[in-house]
Structure 1
Amino acid sequence: MSKCLYLQNSFFYSSATVLKKVHLNMKGRKSADQRWLVRQMSDPFVKAAHSQNYRCRSAFKLIEMDEKYSILKPGFSVIDCGAAPGAWSQVAVQRVNSTGERPDLPRGSVIGIDLLHIAPLEGAHFLFNQDITDANMHTVLQRLLPQTHADVILSDMAPNASGFRELDHERLVSMCFSLLELAEKLLRPGGSLVCKYWDGASTHKLREHLTHSFRDVRTVKPKASRKESAELYFLARMFRKM
């Protein structure tokens, strides 16, 4: 189970119950796990995720980026890569009106993909136990997209950490390149791509390829991304269909 889901299932009760749960869950745990639990309980984005019914604090990363750059609009079709546990999909569903809750606005669509299971979400079509880097998935997605093309590709996915920074960096950059291949097949001209990366030796190469395919490429570090985290996001807009 992911830490987001673990926290969501285990700790969000009354304040007294939370503190009791934290104390009980400290027993027998490694010091690193204890530090993680304490940090989570003092994190304002974790608390906000609970109060606003988001599945994970990462929702606020996308909310901040969208409010600043207007990535998601009613009627848009969105592909959410590495979607579990579904927090980014929740944000996308709300902002593209994929439930049709606002009949006065165009109705969009959200497709989420992950190797992990994702709990159902109204307004989203989830493909779990599926690998977005598999080229066969491109055909599946094309059939599912209302206009056979997406307006936005989102990715908060990352490989399991190996403990070797440069290796993890290269693996994540490789994932980002697979998203570029996905964009070439499924992203409409003028569309946007958001992808997480960890800075390293291949960052420049990835930026060059993004700049070749998009008119506007910038690096973003949302406030909800912890300061100590190495994660950054490339926001690439105005896709140039080759």
Structure 2
Amino acid sequence: MWKSSVLLHKLCIHTSAALLKRASPNLKGKSPAEQRWLVRQLRDPFVKAARVENYRCRSAFKLLEIDDKYNILRPGVSVVDCGAAPGAWSQIAVKRVNATGESPDHPCGAVIGVDLLHISPLDGARFLPNQDITSPATHAELQRLLPGGLADVILSDMAPNASGFREMDHERMISMCLTLLDLADKVLKPGGCLVCKFWDGGLSWKLQQGLAEVFKEVKPIKPKASRKDSAELFFLAKSFKKR
């Protein structure tokens, strides 16, 4: 298990004045919004920790925390990673399901990532870049690649491009998450589970209701790696019931 409190404490010591001073030339010529984003990144211990641990982005720690608590990724498990780019969640999944066979005493799992964007190769994962997770052709390809044609776990860290209009972005996000129900019908094993990111708002109940119709247990989660001022939450849905 990742020792978050110890590592983050050490990293926080080194991430304020020194880093901001070093980055100050990079702030010149940037808009106020860009400057705020850069300063926030430099102050974020999870960004620093991602570099130390060689994770592709800080979101890896969200999945680590969820899995440490709920144990959804085990050796031998088959995983579909939706919105996989740049591949941080796939990195965690590959390690925990033993997709590379690194632990010879445990069964080997499988990780397949899908995204509209390019994804750099990752040992132990099979990526389907430039593909739409809602497409029947993508569903068919997943069924072909998954052992036995089915997955034990669906992960989704995908999100629409933000427009800046909170309600519109929330509505688009919920609609995107609801497409995962169709994906689950196609490729998720009975008893399987799903983890999906969503932005909290007035339509969150609709997503929770949709998940509750086909999963026995649905609960919202706010990992510590999710920024406190963010509307980002995750639903963990367990024990899938085929419709």
- In the superposition, the TM-score normalised over structure 2's length comes to 0.90
Query: 157-166 vs 199-208, which deviates more?
Result: 199-208
Please name the residue that 2:5 is paired with.
none
Check if 1:62 corresponds to 2:63: yes
For residue 165 of structure 1, report the CA deviation from its aligned partner. 1.4
Contact 2:20 2:39 (C-alpha < 8 Å) held by counterparts: no
Distance in 1 between the 2:89 and 2:25 partners? Answer: 31
Give the total of aligned pairs.
Answer: 229
CA distance in 2, matches of 1:17, 1:140: 49
Q: SS of 1:55's equivalent? A: coil
Contact kept, 8 Å, 2:81 with 2:112, in 1: the verdict is yes
Q: What amino acid is aligned across from residue 96 of structure 1 in structure 2?
A: V
Q: TM-score, normalised by structure 1?
A: 0.91
Find the counterpart in structure 1 of residue 7 from structure 2: none
**Structure 1 residue ranges, 4+ long, deviating more than 2 angstroms after superposition:** 14-21
Describe the superposition over 1:37-64 as per-residue Cα deviations: whole angstroms up to 9, x where unpaired.
Answer: 1111111111111111101000000000
Q: 1:205 to 1:34 in 2, by over 3 A?
A: same
Alignment map for 1:92-111 (pairs within 5 Å): 92-111=93-112
- Report the Cα distance in structure 1 between the residues aligned to 2:160 and 2:126, rounded to whole angstroms: 23
Question: Aligned to 2:128, what secondary structure does the other structure show?
Answer: strand
Q: Structure 1: which 5+ residue stretches go unaligned?
A: 1-13
User: Partner of 1:183 in structure 2?
Assistant: 184
Q: Which residue of 2 aligns with 1:154?
A: 155
* TM superposition shift of 1:168: 0.9
Q: Give 2:137's aligned residue.
A: 136
Residue in structure 2 matched with residue 118 of structure 1 by the alignment: 119
**Distance in structure 1 (CA, Å) of the matches to 2:84 and 2:150:** 19
Hey, what does 1:75 align to over in structure 2?
76
Q: Distance in 1 between matches of 2:18 and 2:164?
A: 35
How much has 1:222 moved relative to structure 2? Answer: 0.3
Give aligned-pair identity as a percent: 66
Aligned to 1:169: 170
